[in-house]
Structure 1
Amino acid sequence: MYIGNNIPILHKMIKRQLSQLLVEMAMKMPIISIMGPRQSGKTTLARSIFPNHHYINFELPENRLRAELDPLQLLKSYPQGLILDEVQRVPELFSFIQVVADEWRENGKFILTGSQNFLLNKQVSQSLAGRVFVSKLMPFSMKEVYLSGEATNNFDRFIFKGGYPAIFDRDIDPSLFFPSYQQTYLERDVLDMISLRNLSNFRRLIGLLAGRVGQLLNLSSLGTELGVDHKTVQSWIAALEASYVIFLLRPYHKNFSKRIIKSPKIYFWDTGLACNLLGIQNEKQVDTHWAKGSLFENLVIGEKAKSYLNQGKEPPLYFWRDSNGVEVDLIVESVEGLEVIEIKSGQTFHRSFLKNIELFGKNASAIQVNAQVIYSGNESWESGGVSIISWQKLIG
């Protein structure tokens, strides 16, 4: 397709790993929800999987008015099924969706998308309980990009670009995409959730969080830097979580008698956004930037989280840190035991990479542990019961 003076517009549909699961669950549940950050591809995915459903976008004031004036008439006018986009904009509609879903008793009739976690609303979650399959669609994972044929042999490139579909579909420079994204989507969504008296302070907060990726969340310290109280910072953090900009990795504390740090750590769902907030202008700057280690850690943990979400599962991910500062970057909990993972941005393996894993093992002697080191080199092997894994295995 061309516009203007024969300038090409690229439309390359990268297949989403979540697609088949949504098709299967639409045959088993009356309501399917797809939540995730703005511009992560929710609408495109829903309309491609359910092409016969009627589409209603609640960003449009006239559609919100229709829902307010006669919600039952709106819902019952489309027996073929409905895709209700940005449905969090009309929270009063959820109870009527419940009524119609119960009346029709047909699966896959309602597809709900939202760029805010509407299930945080107790009334909404009660209305949908037992009727909805909950899914979350984040920006592209490295595996999705790899399977599309895009080159992913340079992790600095993926850290810098991130995974927002527009950057790939339309070949947009990330340094041009993210400033507009922040102003047109991110800030507006947060304004919908909380009352912001000082937008510049909120912008500063997001920048400060980008500089603290992989660090413990310290509300008091952030509040001091911004000149606001810690409760204000807490509400802003909650809004960023609910709109899928950041996520908090919680500490693992089961079966430990030793005092464990209880504060969560901060990560971004998209490393490209974090890079932009840090002022990184191209992929070459990632390699020499002081935050490279933290951004690589964010990339690995984010990929692990996306792999679970793309299976319709909540990520059972944690970190471990004791009161002496001994820390393991990532703990993956399962019925078989724990995956204990250290993440290192160095391309050459060093024996010192194993130090904290070994200290963790001494404290967790009664737990079945599968120890791993994920690093930025290209080779993978076993060493003394520890799997040394190349970052490239994340896309394999």
Structure 2
Amino acid sequence: MLDRIIENELKTTADEYPVITIIGPRQSGKTTLARKLFQHHAYVNLENPELRSLALDDPKTFMLRYPAPVVFDEIQNVPELLSWVQVAVDEKPELTGGYILTGSHQLQLREAITQSLAGRTALLTLFPFALNELEKEYTQMERETLIHNGFMPRLHDKNIRPGRFYRDYFQTYVERDVRKLMAIENQQAFELFLKLLAGRIGHEINYSGLAGQVGISAPQIKKWLSLLEASFIIFRLPPFFNNFGKRMTKSPKIYFVEVGLACYLLGIENPEQLERDPAFGGLFENMVIAEAYKSRINAGLEPGLYFYRDRYQHEIDLLYPSGSFFIPIEIKSSRVYRGEFLKGIRYFQKLSGSKQSGMLVYDGDLEVDREDAVIRNFRNAWRI
């Protein structure tokens, strides 16, 4: 069982709060993590129909049967239970780490927690494996293999073929969660929408353009995007809005939480096909930005990530928080370093008046610390 970087943050918060809530994508390892770190807690899986019925029909008896310390897995199935957890916690103000909750629906859980557990729970998000959580022998494989395989724990633990895994994942979890959160009348249109999104990784969202291709309204496109974000299928990278005296873009970019799922949606069946696919550059960028995202949330921090683009098409792929400044990061799938890769970083440094060093993330062997930027292979960019 591989260690997860977020374990340190989880242990610390368990000594500070009576309730810990772990959210994240389906199959990202939430249950495994909770059971590993809280072995002396009772475990209750609320996907179990009998336990779920008891919790819904007679929550008082349920709470008496399963007192703290306890893990309630998939708590979004019985959000009503959170009010009873609140009562139990308030009766024991000295309690810490007594209730460990896991869930897969961001919007549902956040709303329920805001109502019932505000100030009583720490909220942590668990994404799929980060590169620096996997064995070094594995991460040294070709980038095409890493992207195609993706980073879902069960795929790695059970050595499942990626095509099989992501097909089943899509049909079992994505479609099921979509039906739970919102009635999708036209399933074919929704699948087309997902595939179009996968083909637009790293591009700013054009709501009207997507609506025209899918055959629905722009407001519906926005609802579907929110739905995918709530289900941890995608995340948004917002544009940077600091006033540098230039008109900047207003639309966010979309990336997939799991790049392997994006490969599946694009019909990429093997790493060899990926290397020749025009979507490769965007998928490589997706992998790197997802790693940056994981590095923040695994440390218990808000993502705080942005991209920059102005009307003159000057662009920085990623702005990474560093104190009161941002590290400008350029991402290139090239295996060869070229000085022109740092052009955008220098432009942003001059424009912002920041002396903060930038970073070039690529797939080359040269790694060096320059005055204006550090140069790193993508496998080492987020090592801690």
User: TM-score, normalized by length of structure 2?
Assistant: 0.95
Letter in 1 for 2:8: Q
Offset, 1:119:
6.1
Long gaps (5+) in structure 1: 1-12
Offset, 1:392:
2.6
Aligned to 1:377: 364
Aligned to 1:39: 27
8 A Cα contact 2:139 2:379, kept in partner: no
8 A Cα contact 2:349 2:355, kept in partner: no
Letter in 2 for 1:360: F
State which of 127, 138, 141 in structure 2 corresponds to 1:138.
127
In 2, the alpha carbon distance for the partners of 1:19 and 1:385 equals 34
Offset, 1:120:
6.1
Q: Secondary structure in 2 aligned to 1:362?
A: helix
Offset, 1:253:
1.3
What are the superposed Cα offsets for residues 125-179 of structure 1, whole Å, 9 maximum, x if unpaired? Answer: 13211111111111111100136x5343422221111111111111111011101
8 A Cα contact 2:103 2:109, kept in partner: no
State which of 205, 208, 212 in structure 1 corresponds to 2:200.
212
8 A Cα contact 2:79 2:112, kept in partner: no
Structure-to-structure mapping, 1:149-188, within 5 angstroms: 150-188=138-176
Q: Secondary structure in 1 aligned to 2:102?
A: strand
Matched, 1:295 2:283: yes
In 1, the alpha carbon distance for the partners of 2:100 and 2:279 equals 39
Matched, 1:305 2:317: no
8 A Cα contact 2:131 2:139, kept in partner: no
Aligned to 1:390: 377
Matched, 1:113 2:102: yes
Cα gap change, 1:118 to 1:63, in 2 (>3 Å)? farther
8 A Cα contact 1:153 1:392, kept in partner: no
What are the superposed Cα offsets for residues 237-294 of structure 1, whole Å, 9 maximum, x if unpaired? Answer: 1111011110000111124221111110010111111111111111222222111111
Cα gap change, 1:304 to 1:151, in 2 (>3 Å)? closer
Aligned to 1:334: 322
Name segments (4+ residues, structure 1) moved above 4 Å.
118-121
State which of 242, 247, 252 in structure 1 corresponds to 2:235.
247
Quick check: 25-34 or 14-23, which moved more?
14-23
Offset, 1:384:
5.5
Aligned to 1:124: 113
Letter in 2 for 1:362: K
Q: Secondary structure in 1 aligned to 2:80?
A: helix
What are the superposed Cα offsets for residues 288-311 of structure 1, whole Å, 9 maximum, x if unpaired? Answer: 211111111111111011011111
In 2, the alpha carbon distance for the partners of 1:32 and 1:390 equals 35
Cα gap change, 1:107 to 1:76, in 2 (>3 Å)? farther
RMSD: 1.7
Q: Secondary structure in 2 aligned to 1:184?
A: helix
8 A Cα contact 2:255 2:286, kept in partner: yes
Aligned to 1:359: 347
Identity of aligned residues (%): 41
8 A Cα contact 1:145 1:152, kept in partner: no
8 A Cα contact 2:361 2:381, kept in partner: no
In 1, the alpha carbon distance for the partners of 2:379 and 2:111 equals 41
8 A Cα contact 2:201 2:282, kept in partner: yes
Offset, 1:376:
1.1
What are the superposed Cα offsets for residues 309-338 of structure 1, whole Å, 9 maximum, x if unpaired? Answer: 111111121100112222100001232521
What are the superposed Cα offsets for residues 103-139 of structure 1, whole Å, 9 maximum, x if unpaired? Answer: 1231111111011114664353132111111111111
Matched, 1:257 2:242: no
Matched, 1:230 2:218: yes
Offset, 1:382:
3.7
Q: Secondary structure in 2 aligned to 1:135?
A: strand
8 A Cα contact 2:337 2:366, kept in partner: no
User: TM-score, normalized by length of structure 1?
Assistant: 0.92
In 2, the alpha carbon distance for the partners of 1:41 and 1:324 equals 43
In 1, the alpha carbon distance for the partners of 2:290 and 2:327 equals 16
Quick check: 29-38 or 68-77, which moved more?
68-77
8 A Cα contact 1:118 1:124, kept in partner: no
Q: Secondary structure in 1 aligned to 2:235?
A: strand
Structure-to-structure mapping, 1:1-80, within 5 angstroms: 13-80=1-68
The alignment of Structure 1 onto Structure 2 pairs a total of residues equal to 382
In 2, the alpha carbon distance for the partners of 1:364 and 1:186 equals 41
In 2, the alpha carbon distance for the partners of 1:89 and 1:27 equals 26
Letter in 1 for 2:201: V
